[in-house]
Amino acid sequence: MRTWRVGTFSMGASLLFLGIFLLLSQFFGMDLMHVMISWWPIILVVLGVEILLFLFLSRQEKPFLKYDFLSIFFVGILGTVGIGFALLSSTGIMDKIDDVLKREERTMDLPALEKQLSEGVQRVVVEDTGHYPLTIEGTSAKEVSMFGTYRALLGKKEKLLSNAEEYVSIQEKGDTLYVKIKGLPSETAGPFDRYEDMSATLLIPNDVKLEVNGNDNTITLKPRTLISDWTIDQASNLSVQLQNSSDVKVTATDVQEFHGNREMWKMTEEKQGEHPYEEPVIKLATFQTGKGEHSLTITNSYQLSFSTVD
């Protein structure tokens, strides 16, 4: 009499169903992780059906179950893998891994910021310029606005930013508007590291006072027709483009390197050491267009590039 060893049929049926699922996933573009998560309960169903079927068809009064332990062990491994996928999926880790594997470098627009200035605001203070290069331009509009692009490794349905408040903070206190650029969300957890970069332009009304703390950042300054006083402090690399039609006096102090037409400036330089090849530090440099009614003050910048445009 032929003996039915429980587990053999389960292993065969499990492999059959797994093969069917994988084949269908190729035709319909199903995700492999989702296939593993949704398929594994069939193993328990098949194994239970096999035991019940054996008991039902057995003609013995006291049927004795014999198990194919090698087949059951193999089925158990498949089930354990499936349960593991399900547990990881419930914690969100599987979705995270799936998203990381599908990431691609994409360039997207920053959510635009527009802040209308109140009548009493006379000064704008940029407390923090963030960690990315920043362009500051003057505008005749009575509002502070910010726009640009950011580049990052993103999933197909992923966005780093959904609104402007996530990368810039604006608070109005008395006659001063405070601006702080936060930067972009980042990940630094092992395989989930993400590369991100940002290129932004901040528009400031050219008739209000401006104070910028550069935080050793790279800044490009385009005041246009400046009709107020602007101050830039502690920028690592500062590029200034000033219109010839401006009525501005530019004063730069403690600048390590200068790039531009030196003949247009009055400079006082000072050697910091005795080495013959060491470049002197510019202790004071001035440049003026028109009567110099307004001022642009630059302090503690490592490198200053200056040019005039029509």
Where residue 108 falls among pLDDT bands split at 50, 70, 90?
A: confident
Are the C-beta atoms of residues 158 and 118 closer than 8 Å to each other? no
CA distance 97 to 91: 12
| Mean of pLDDT over the chain | 78
Query: pLDDT tens, 163-212?
Result: 889 889 999 998 999 999 987 876 655 555 666 788 999 999 988 999 99
Judge if 136 and 155 occupy the same domain.
Answer: yes
Judge if 250 and 164 occupy the same domain.
Answer: yes
- pLDDT above 70: residue 296: yes
Residue whose pair of structure tokens reads 């006072």 in the numeric block: 209
To the nearest 10 degrees (0 to 180), the angle between helices 41-57 and 32-39 is 30
CA distances from 193 to 27, 40, 100, 242 (A): 33, 31, 9, 40
Of the residues 72, 101, 130, the one at which a domain ends = 101
Where residue 37 falls among pLDDT bands split at 50, 70, 90?
A: low
Judge if 131 and 189 occupy the same domain.
Answer: yes
193: left (phi over 0), alpha (psi -120 to 50) or beta: beta
Q: Is the pTM of this model over 0.95?
A: no
Where residue 146 falls among pLDDT bands split at 50, 70, 90?
A: very high
Judge if 143 and 213 occupy the same domain.
Answer: yes
Of the residues 68, 101, 134, the one at which a domain ends = 101
Judge if 88 and 117 occupy the same domain.
Answer: no
Residue whose pair of structure tokens reads 């050793």 in the numeric block: 216
**CB proximity list for 29: less than 8 A, separation 6 or greater:** none
More confident residue, 58 or 154: 154
123-128 and 209-213 strand pairing: parallel
Q: 20: domain range?
A: 5-101
SS3 110: coil
Judge if 161 and 296 occupy the same domain.
Answer: yes
Judge if 132 and 276 occupy the same domain.
Answer: yes
**CB proximity list for 73: less than 8 A, separation 6 or greater:** none
**CA 89, 92, 93, 97: dihedral to nearest 10 degrees?**
90
- pLDDT above 80: residue 227: yes
Judge if 57 and 159 occupy the same domain.
Answer: no
Judge if 73 and 121 occupy the same domain.
Answer: no
What angle is formed at CA 65 by the lines to CA 61 and CA 70, rounded to 5 degrees? Answer: 170
Quickly count: other Cβ atoms within 10 Å of residue 278's Cβ: 10
Number of structural domains (the chain) is: 2
Of the residues 101, 132, 153, the one at which a domain ends = 101
Judge if 244 and 153 occupy the same domain.
Answer: yes
Judge if 208 and 226 occupy the same domain.
Answer: yes
CA distance 263 to 72: 89
Judge if 235 and 250 occupy the same domain.
Answer: yes
Residues in the chain: 310
pLDDT of amino acid 159: 75
Are the C-beta atoms of residues 167 and 182 closer than 8 Å to each other? yes
